[in-house]
């Protein structure tokens, strides 16, 4: 813990920059100095490119050109997202030596907002897993306990923020890959509504569920970054019940969960009525659609160079390749049914709350816990919001046995403001 950016908000940084107490080049130097190689957050650092960008940011500011709250801010980018001129490795030997020719759309947005891209962060191989310890680059370590998983797949992005190396990082989230490592590492992670941030230039995992998201120390900073990336300020939706001062929230009962985790997160929402949704059904929908879409992406690699995958990835892909088409078709219908049910719930509540994860970070290399195999356990509470394309925010919600746990807030597309407002109230 304890890099330069720990405890520093984007507002703090922006104030210092504009007051002349800090410069973009200075912030970059502090970021690079905060990198702790033992945590294995970064797979590529780009000191030269970042230096040039930082210098340009300083020149612009000096000339009165202000690109807003990300101007001059050091940012890390998940190694599944193309940054022109840098390797995109996907955490896989398959892409050893592969260098991106152009920026992903979200990286262009970052640059337009004046951000300084420090480097690329480690990902679970091809983003195909939530543990963050399966990668040709080795496991990314949790700064709260280096023997434990960071969570994944945006492992390095979460750790780079959690350990204060950068104040902000980009990740991707197909079943929880932004929110899971955010929760395990004690930071905030936001998965916007489907397609709110374009995925062009991001290596696909499951195209129906792939989202680009942001990771930062707090929900407030996720909000700032999200707005900086998506342009015009969000509309302010009407809450369901104007007379409810804190917004009407429902607690979604987790299916299987560590009771200490449940108690800790539930305590944040003491008055929220409990509601149930078919979490197990949604997870099956997630699985059937992701299996087909993921194998579609990888079929030729599995056939031609299976040995280049990490063993657990290859095994998952082979299973995915056998999931029959009729299950995909049924999942597509089931998804529509569940979407109608959840939409009805969101007609009655401003937002939904639940834990981000049913457990705290397991040991690196561990594949199974009391709730069963980790891979499905880790996405059990996050993947529903990928299936339904709803905005979902994970925020720090205390610790259990000394490890961070996350609370997850979900709402309807377009009502993201309600989530960020709720998170702001919970933070005070």
Residues with active-site annotation: 78, 153, 177
Torsion of CA 84, 309, 289, 76, to 10 degrees: -30
Which helix or strand (DSSP H or E) is residue 421 part of? helix 416-426
Of residues 192 and 292, the one with the C-beta less far from a second copy? 292
Query: How many other C-beta atoms lie within 10 A of the C-beta of residue 311?
Result: 10
CB of 128 to a second copy, least distance (A): 14
As measured in angstroms, the least distance from the Cβ of 367 to a second copy is 25
**C-alpha angle with apex 326: 413 to 299, nearest 5 degrees?**
85
Among 326, 340, 347, 402, binds a second copy (CB under 8 A): 326
Nearer to a second copy, 195 or 296 (CB): 296
**Could you say whether residue 284 binds a second copy (CB under 8 A)?**
no
Q: Does 304 bind a second copy (CB under 8 A)?
A: no
| Sole binder of a second copy in the list 293, 334, 350, 416 (CB under 8 A) | 293
Number of residues this chain uses to bind a second copy (CB under 8 A): 19
- Comparing CA positions, the residue from 1, 80, 85 lying closest to residue 39 is 1
Segment contacting a second copy (CB under 8 A): 9-17, 90-98, 163-171, 283-291?
283-291
Distance CA 331, CA 298 (A): 21
The verdict on 295 binding a second copy (CB under 8 A) reads yes
* Helix, strand or coil, per DSSP, at residue 391: coil
Pick one of 244, 305, 329, 343: the residue that binds a second copy (CB under 8 A). Answer: 329
Cα separation, 323 vs 289, whole angstroms: 9
Residue 327 makes contact with a second copy by CB under 8 A: yes
Q: Which of 325, 347, 402, 428 binds a second copy (CB under 8 A)?
A: 325
User: Residue 199 interacts with a second copy (CB under 8 A)?
Assistant: no
Q: Which of 323, 356, 377, 408 binds a second copy (CB under 8 A)?
A: 323
Q: Which residues contact 293 (CB under 8 A, 6 or more apart)?
A: 204, 205, 206, 207, 208, 209
Q: For the window 101-120, what string marks contact with a second copy as x by the rule CB under 8 A?
A: --------------------
The answer to whether 204 contacts a second copy (rule: CB under 8 A) is no
In the complex, least distance from residue 396 CB atom to a second copy, rounded to whole angstroms: 37
**Nearest distance in Å: CB 21, a second copy:** 54
**Residues whose CB is less than 8 angstroms from the CB of residue 262 and which lie 6 or more positions away in sequence, other chains included:** 254, 355, 358
Going by C-alpha positions, the residue among 3, 49, 1 that lies closest to residue 25 is 49
Q: Does 285 bind a second copy (CB under 8 A)?
A: no
- Segment interacting with a second copy, rule: CB under 8 A, options 176-184, 317-325, 356-364, 372-380: 317-325
Do 94 and 301 touch, CB atoms closer than 8 A?
yes
Beta carbon of residue 80, minimum distance to a second copy (angstroms, whole number): 20
Nearer to a second copy, 270 or 325 (CB): 325
Residue 292 CB, shortest distance to a second copy, in Å, is: 3
For residue 210, state whether it binds a second copy (rule: CB under 8 A).
no
3-class secondary structure, 317: helix
| Mutual angle of helices 279-304 and 325-348, in 10-degree steps | 140
Sequence length of the chain is 428
Which of 213, 387, 211, 207 has the alpha carbon at shortest distance from 297? 207
Residue 58 in the binding site for a second copy (CB under 8 A)? no
Q: Is 291 in the site for a second copy (CB under 8 A)?
A: yes
CA dihedral 193, 177, 386, 127 (to 10 degrees): 110
Binding residue for a second copy, selected from 67, 146, 248, 330, defined by CB under 8 A: 330
Q: CA distances (Å), 96 to each of 79, 222, 337, in order?
A: 12, 32, 42
CA distance 47 to 28: 8
Using CB under 8 A, which of the segments 4-12, 19-27, 92-100, 314-322 binds a second copy?
314-322
Q: Which residues bind to a second copy, rule: CB under 8 A?
A: 288-289, 291-293, 295-296, 299, 320-330
């Amino acid at each position: 813990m304890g890099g330069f950016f720990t405890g520093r908000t984007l507002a703090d940084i922006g104030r210092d920059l504009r007051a002349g107490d800090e410069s973009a080049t200075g912030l970059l130097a502090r970021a690079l100095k905060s990198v702790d190689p033992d945590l294995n957050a970064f797979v590529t650092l780009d000191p030269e490119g970042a230096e040039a960008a930082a210098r340009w940011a300083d020149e612009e500011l000096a000339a009165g050109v202000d690109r807003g709250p990300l101007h001059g801010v050091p940012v890390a980018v998940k190694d599944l997202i193309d940054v022109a001129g840098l390797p995109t490795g996907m955490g896989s030997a398959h892409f050893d030596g592969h260098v991106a020719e152009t920026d992903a759309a979200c990286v262009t947005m970052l640059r337009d907002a004046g951000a300084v891209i420090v480097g690329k962060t480690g990902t679970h191989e091809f983003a195909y897993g939530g543990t963050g310890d399966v990668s040709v680059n080795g496991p990314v370590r949790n700064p709260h306990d280096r023997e434990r998983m960071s969570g994944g797949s945006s492992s390095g992005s979460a750790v780079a923020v959690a350990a204060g190396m950068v104040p902000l990082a980009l990740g991707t989230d197909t079943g929880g890959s932004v929110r899971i490592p955010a929760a395990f590492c004690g930071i905030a992670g936001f998965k916007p509504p489907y397609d709110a941030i374009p995925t062009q230039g991001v290596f696909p995992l499951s195209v129906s569920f792939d989202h680009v998201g942001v990771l930062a120390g707090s929900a407030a900073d996720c909000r700032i970054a999200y707005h900086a990336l998506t342009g015009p300020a969000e509309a302010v939706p009407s809450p369901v019940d104007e007379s409810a001062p804190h917004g009407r929230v429902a607690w979604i009962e987790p299916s299987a969960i560590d009771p200490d985790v449940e108690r800790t997160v539930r305590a944040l929402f003491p008055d929220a009525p409990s509601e149930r949704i078919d979490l197990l059904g949604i997870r099956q929908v997630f699985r059937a659609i992701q299996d087909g879409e993921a194998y579609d992406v990888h079929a030729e690699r599995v056939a031609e160079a299976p040995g280049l995958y990490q063993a657990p990835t290859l095994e998952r892909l082979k299973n995915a390749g056998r999931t029959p088409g009729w299950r995909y078709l049924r999942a597509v219908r089931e998804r529509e049914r569940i979407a109608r049910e959840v939409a009805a719930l969101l007609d009655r509540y401003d937002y939904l709350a639940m834990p981000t994860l049913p457990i705290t970070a397991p040991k690196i290399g561990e594949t199974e816990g009391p709730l069963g195999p980790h891979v499905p356990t880790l996405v059990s509470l996050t993947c529903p919001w990928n299936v339904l394309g709803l905005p979902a925010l994970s925020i720090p919600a205390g610790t259990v046995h000394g490890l961070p746990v996350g609370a997850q807030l979900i709402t309807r597309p377009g009502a993201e403001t309600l989530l960020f407002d709720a998170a702001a109230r919970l933070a005070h």
